[in-house]
Amino acid sequence: MSRLLLMLLWVTAFTLATCLAPSFIKLHSESSTSILVLLMGDSRQMFAGQFFAKADAYFHNGNYPSIFDHQGPKESHMTEQAEVGREHKDDDNDEHAKTFTGDAPKDWIERFGRNFIYKQHSHLENEDVREILPWLKLATEMDPHQVTVYVTAAYWLRVRLHKPDEAEKFLREGLRDNRDSPEILFELGTIYYQDRHDDLVSRNLWLEARKKWLAQKDTVKKTNELVFMRILGSLAKLAEKQGHTDEEIQYLEELKQISPNSDAIEILIQSARKSASQKK
């Protein structure tokens, strides 16, 4: 009788364990996330911004305007290069560079103090750009909805560090938290196009990015028109490569409507039409 009772208890315990274990695991993972939210609340976004600024400071070899400087950098070269897709050429006379070299010292204390700080405008060279990555990673840990951070990190991982696998992994992490982001989808498509040479997947990703961009509110669209132009430009280029001239013209027509350089797009459209008529 006692053996039966023990068996019954053991079976009950085993059944309970199998029922409750998944709930406990879920509860544990939820609580670990919520602890960060609970402890830091909305300040996480502020910290994410700070970490992103830190990455930009690293990109400029430690030289970065402080909060006391009247004009902080209006745009970041680190982000700009990732968004535009080509590298910025340093010019010490441009406005951006001037925010880093600073104004003339106001007094002898400031003048002497300049001996101990780096005040040149320079960027990290070659593979040294890897040094910005920990701060970008931390920024996304703090605020996983900062799409720019994912795109920026992926760009540098792919272009300078030649790590498309790591870039894709990071972008997919970002996509989990930002399912409707055309920027992340576009960057993923670019990895498949430029690094994996998989035109089919890249086309699908860019088409999805275009769909997501069109589904956005008009106010949001105006803030990220650049990514839409890049999506359409890439789709047109791919269509040209695959010989789908009608498709190419369609994307170029769309691009012409928002591009600030519509004349140049018109020339491309005419050229595409001409080659289409020659084929016929």
Partner 1 sequence: MNILLALAGVVIKELYRRKDFYVLFVLTALITLLLGSVSFFDDKRIIRYLKEICLLLIWISSLVIAILTAGRQIPSEKESRTIFPLLAKPVSRAQMILGKFLGCWFACGFALLVFYLFFIVLSGTHDHEFSMLTCLKALWLHWMCLAIIIAMALLGSILFASVSANATIIFITAIGILLVGGHLNTAAVDLTEPTQSIVTALYYAIPHLEWFDVRDLVVHDRNIVQFLPILGATAYAGVYTTLLLGLTVRLFKRKNLV
- Taking the complex as a whole, the smallest distance from the CB of residue 61 to partner 1 amounts, in Å, to 5
Q: Does 230 bind partner 1 (CB under 8 A)?
A: no
8 A C-beta contact, residue 33 and residue 107: no
Query: Site mask, partner 1, residues 250-269, x = CB under 8 A?
Result: --------------------
Q: How far is CA 196 from CA 38, 141, 184, 245, in A?
A: 41, 28, 17, 24
- Count of residues in contact with partner 1, rule CB under 8 A: 31
* Among residues 44, 49, 50, 61, the one that binds partner 1 under rule CB under 8 A: 61
Helix, strand, coil: what percent of the chain each, to 5? 75, 0, 25
- Taking the complex as a whole, the smallest distance from the CB of residue 148 to partner 1 amounts, in Å, to 18
184, burial (CB in 10 Å: exposed 0-12, middle 13-18, buried 19+): buried
Cβ contacts of residue 27 below 8 Å, gap of 6+? Answer: none
Q: Which is nearer to partner 1, 166 or 198 (CB)?
A: 166
Compute CA 178 distance to the chain's CA centroid, rounded to the nearest angstrom: 11
Q: Which is nearer to partner 1, 14 or 112 (CB)?
A: 112
Q: Does 137 bind partner 1 (CB under 8 A)?
A: yes
Residues 153-182 that bind partner 1 (CB under 8 A): 153, 157, 161, 163, 166, 170
Cβ contacts of residue 42 below 8 Å, gap of 6+? Answer: none
Site residues (vs partner 1, CB under 8 A):
58, 61-63, 66, 68-70, 106-107, 109-110, 112-113, 115-118, 127, 130-131, 133-135, 137, 153, 157, 161, 163, 166, 170
